[in-house]
Amino acid sequence: MLKIIQQAQQHLDRTAIVAGDETYSYRKLVSDSAQFAAQLLDNDTDLNEQRVAFMVNAGFDYVRVQWGIWQAGGVAVPLCLTHPLPSLRYTIDNSEAETIVVSPEYADLLRPLADENGLRFIVLGEIDSITEGVTLPSLADSRRAMILYTSGTTNLPKGVVTTHANLNAQITALVEAWEWTAQDHTICVLPLHHVHGIVNIISCAMWSGACCEFLPQFSAENLFNAFRKGKINVFMAVPTIYFKLIAHWESLPEAEQQALTDCLSRFRFMVSGSAALPVSVMEKWAGISQHTLLERYGMTEIGMGLSNPYRGKRYAGHVGYPLPNVQVRLADENDRELPASETGEIQIKGPNVFSEYWRRPEATAEAFTQDGWFKTGDVATVDTEGGYRILGRNSVDIIKSGGYKISALEIEEVLRTHPLVSDCSVVGIDNDEWGELVVAAIVPKEEGIDTHALNTWMRTQMPTYKTPRQYKTVAELPRNAMGKVTKNDVKKLF
């Protein structure tokens, strides 16, 4: 039996999930996810790593379906609920999914795609049959469990494959380091097609027998209302969310501010990650919540690698120390290990590190050194206390906005397919709220290009969070003597 199910078996009578007015016990989660596995198996004995893409609302159904896929021996491929059809199609095609599972509201969007490709299509609630005496396959931890799509230095997102062993290592490192227990109660407001929401929040909570509450979508007001109920004691989010919470708190009358501060001060701990936490946000949030945010560093390919201490001093601007069982080093451009006092690329080794990029053996090989260290592309240094400080990234083409990793090359590729765009260059510019803001310099094919219309069109092609927030039309892109676009000069245009 999968370890996460074994863990859940120890807490059958506890509440696993709260969504809206409904609560769901671990007993129900274990039983309903096994039922769903049986439905997926449909008299087969093992899905044998068949990819199952699922577009399912955050809440009980999401975890039920994810665990069902795992227990049936499938590979879970979560789809983003807000992606436009071209992005969904890419994920489904690229992962070679054979089954699509949807919450009813996404059926009309995805059914034609399933029909077109002859894929099995399951709408939750439509044919959830009860199967008695289900026998589920026995699965080795080395089996593939999940594919998450991440943008990188290639123009199209790559599928990051993690095995059950990888996921177990990612979860247990955090459960140990942050001292999760069954008494914890957390809330998930993050999208469920990325590690932060899936592993750090839901899976750690479920592994520990804790309760995970869901807000379908982030809103500062709804989140504060959930906090006010006084049950939540663990909270994790990206810096943009803390920025938005601070802005909302500052807009409240003093009595409400104080009541919230009293409530937040009783939390066990609060975490920030996925992007650099500005010191100003950390300090303001400390004033509001009486908590020094615990900042940690991770990546889709590794889960979490570094963390400030749960007990002990947390430093602003630092991402802390290696998590249990994670090896971390700094290396130069020739992958030679550097002394800690120098600046180099963070490289990671350990059971938490992903197994491969899906169907991309060359990209996988390039991502690792000869001796098996994963090359993160993040540049850091180590301070006198031994804590890591992230200084930047190797590639100017990777943008972090709102906690999402975004490839400038992917956006450029889409922009260039527009009939009125001759050339373009996309960069990220610093922004207090979003970390970086995506902006695009455009060389139009003819004068007077309507950037509003261009933007509307972009939103049909890409997820909103990837679309440029500002456009500048230029006659020519800035280039160096070799003819290469100089992105630092592009940034200066904005």
Give the binding site for ligand MCA (CB under 6 A): 190-191, 194-197, 217-218, 238, 240-241, 273-274, 298-300, 401-405, 434, 437, 464-465, 469
Choice between 34 and 462, CB closer to ligand MCA: 462
3-class DSSP assignment, residue 111: helix
CA angle 484, 376, 404 (to 5 degrees): 80
Choice between 23 and 394, CB closer to ligand AMP: 394
Choice between 32 and 301, CB closer to ligand AMP: 301
Residue 86 contacts residue 461 (beta carbons within 8 Å)? yes
Q: Which does 214 bind (CB under 5 to 8 A by kind): ligand MCA, ligand AMP, none?
A: none
Reference 304, options 200, 403, 163; nearest CA is 200
Shortest distance, CB of residue 393 to ligand AMP, whole angstroms? 6
CA angle 329, 335, 337 (to 5 degrees): 40
What 4-9 contacts at long range (C-beta under 8 Å, 24+ apart), as own/partner pairs, is 4/67, 4/70, 4/167, 4/168, 4/171, 4/203, 4/206, 4/207, 5/30, 5/33, 5/67, 5/71, 7/206, 7/207, 7/208, 7/209, 8/206, 8/209
Looking only at residues 390 through 409 of this chain, which bind ligand AMP when binding is defined by CB under 6 A?
A: 390, 393, 400, 405
Choice between 68 and 463, CB closer to ligand MCA: 463
CA angle 205, 207, 209 (to 5 degrees): 65
Shortest distance, CB of residue 308 to ligand AMP, whole angstroms? 9
In the list 300, 352, 364, 425, the residue contacting ligand AMP (rule: CB under 6 A) is 300
Shortest distance, CB of residue 301 to ligand MCA, whole angstroms? 8
Q: How far apart are CA 69 and CA 62, in angstroms?
A: 11
Residue in the block written with tokens 């500052």: 250
At 267, phi and psi to the nearest 5? Answer: -60, 155
Using the contact rule CB under 6 A, the part of the chain among 75-83, 248-256, 273-281, 466-474 near ligand AMP is 273-281
At 273, phi and psi to the nearest 5? Answer: -175, -175
Choice between 237 and 458, CB closer to ligand AMP: 237
Shortest distance, CB of residue 342 to ligand MCA, whole angstroms? 24
Residue 275 contacts residue 295 (beta carbons within 8 Å)? no
Shortest distance, CB of residue 146 to ligand AMP, whole angstroms? 13
Per 3-state DSSP, the chain is made up of helix, strand and coil in percentages (nearest 5) of: 35, 25, 40
Assigned token pair, 143: 């089996």
Write the interaction track for ligand AMP spanning residues 183-222; mark x where CB under 6 A is met and - where it is not.
------------x---------------------------
Q: How many residues bind ligand AMP (CB under 6 A)?
A: 18
Q: Which does 241 bind (CB under 5 to 8 A by kind): ligand AMP, ligand MCA, none?
A: ligand MCA
Q: Which does 276 bind (CB under 5 to 8 A by kind): ligand MCA, ligand AMP, none?
A: ligand AMP
Instruction: Please name the helix (run of DSSP H) or strand (run of DSSP E) that holds residue 348, with its range, or none.
Output: strand 344-349
Is residue 276 close enough to count as binding ligand AMP by CB under 6 A?
A: yes
Is residue 150 close enough to count as binding ligand AMP by CB under 6 A?
A: yes
Q: How far apart are CA 366 and CA 154, in angstroms?
A: 12
Shortest distance, CB of residue 195 to ligand AMP, whole angstroms? 6
Q: Which does 150 bind (CB under 5 to 8 A by kind): ligand AMP, ligand MCA, none?
A: ligand AMP
Is residue 297 close enough to count as binding ligand AMP by CB under 6 A?
A: yes
Choice between 8 and 55, CB closer to ligand MCA: 55
Using the contact rule CB under 6 A, the part of the chain among 46-54, 297-305, 445-453, 478-486 near ligand AMP is 297-305
Residue in the block written with tokens 């399951």: 122
Assigned token pair, 311: 């007990």
Binding site for ligand AMP (CB under 6 A): 150, 195, 273-276, 295, 297-300, 319, 376, 378, 390, 393, 400, 405
